[in-house]
Structure 1
Amino acid sequence: MRRLISAVKISLDGKIEGPDGYADWVKAWSEDYGLTPQIDACLLGGGMYPGYEQYWTAMQRAPDEPLPMTGQKPTAKEIAWAKLIPELPHYVLSSTLKTALWPNTRFLRGVDEVAQLKNLPGKDIYLVGGAQVASCLIDAGLVDEIRLIVHPLLAGAGKSHFEGLDGRKQLELSEVRQLENGLVYLRYGLI
């Protein structure tokens, strides 16, 4: 069975967004979790997908230009990810979205379809986000691993990545790495 791996960049207090609706402490949205060799699909929630598609499409069209969403030029790692993702099937868990710009995008209408996706042959699946779909799939027992890059910042107000969970979840730490600029990489299995 394929594994579903949630990977996210968070503040030390577990926030994925500040009060303005954006994680301004994250300098690049590249895939920095070591997932690329082991995945062959991405899964997102319907709330996150339109912005995700817009962000990476802008980078694919003009990799040397500042991004309209951030005003920053993409990093080399972001450009590499932007080149790879059109090749990966993207699955969007949404009851309302029906169209996507990317031709390799499919819509899943329920948690049972995510379970079916995990049972298909293939490599692991990268659960890109957002918070609501991650909490829903953790609660459903479908997330196998959580990888975090923790930023040395207490964001205070903002959206927590795990605020929608229905109760306590036990995790088992499998890897810790100190990264540059005080960032920490954590990898957990769900028990």
Structure 2
Amino acid sequence: MGKIVVSANVSLDGVTQDPDGQEGFKHGGWFKQFVGNDLEAWAKNETEETLRAEVMVLGRKSDEWFATRTPGRTEPWAERMNGLPKYVVSSTLEKPLWTNAAVVKDVEEVSRLKQETRGEILIYGSYQLVRTLIEHRLVDEFRLLVFPVVVGSGERLFRETTDKTPLRLVRSQTIGEGLLLVTYEVVRAASH
């Protein structure tokens, strides 16, 4: 069985919205402003993570975002991203924009994919999808790369849920000089 891993760049107050500043959000662009001298260390971490992945799962908007920024790039991270099998979860999309991608229509198909995959199923972006997967108890791990800024407002990775999701800290490490990577594993209730 595969392990669904949500990997996200977040501000200290949990904002994930518009890190590159291209969506027009008034507080966007925080990634470039606060990655500072840590860009190389960030890129190394992202590359290592992507090389470990077997599959990617994305929402429709994330498929569009990556499809316009990744093809044609030759660094190891981009080559791996372009080469990975990808599944775009959307009830409206007919054909994904990114290479090596197929559309899946619902969470049940993601659950089947998890059963059929060995290794990590990586999710970048796709926050609406992530929230749905949390509600369906399909996420196994969160990797949050915390940037040294309080953005103050904007879309956050976590919103209201119908129940608590217990987590266990697996690892925390500094990336470069100012970024913090925290990895939490979802704690599953013991079966009786």
| 1:155-166 alignment runs, 5 A limit | 155-163=151-159, 165-166=161-162
State the identity %: 29
| 1:5-44 alignment runs, 5 A limit | 5-17=5-17, 20=25, 23-27=28-32, 30=43, 32-33=45-46, 34-44=48-58
Partner of residue 35, structure 2: none
C-alpha RMSD over aligned residues? 2.2
> Residue 139 in 1 paired to residue 123 in 2?
no
> Residue 97 in 1 paired to residue 93 in 2?
yes
> Counterpart amino acid of 2:56?
C
Q: Kindly tell me the number of residue pairs found equivalent between the two proteins.
A: 173
CA–CA separation in structure 1 for the residues paired with 2:85 and 2:126: 17
After the TM superposition, list the runs of 4 or more consecutive aligned residues in structure 1 that deviate by more than 4 angstroms.
28-31
> Counterpart amino acid of 2:31?
V
> Counterpart amino acid of 1:122?
R
CA contact (8 A) 2:50 2:81 kept: no
Runs of 5+ in structure 2 lacking a partner?
19-23, 33-38, 188-192
> Residue 182 in 1 paired to residue 158 in 2?
no
CA contact (8 A) 1:10 1:149 kept: yes
CA contact (8 A) 2:64 2:97 kept: no
CA contact (8 A) 2:7 2:122 kept: yes
Residues 51 and 22 of structure 1: CA distance in aligned 2, closer, same or farther (over 3 Å): farther
Residues 41 and 105 of structure 1: CA distance in aligned 2, closer, same or farther (over 3 Å): same
Under a length normalisation based on structure 1, what TM-score does the superposition of the two structures give?
0.81
Partner of residue 70, structure 1: none
Equivalent position SS for 1:99:
coil
Residues 47-98 of structure 1 show CA distances to partners (whole Å, capped at 9, x for unaligned) of 32111211112xx26x6xxxxxxxxxxxxxxx32111122111111110111
Choose 105-114 or 41-50, whichever is displaced more: 41-50
Runs of 5+ in structure 1 lacking a partner?
64-78
Choose 100-109 or 81-90, whichever is displaced more: 100-109
Under a length normalisation based on structure 2, what TM-score does the superposition of the two structures give?
0.81
Partner of residue 47, structure 1: 61
CA contact (8 A) 1:7 1:126 kept: yes
CA–CA separation in structure 1 for the residues paired with 2:113 and 2:99: 18
CA contact (8 A) 1:43 1:92 kept: yes
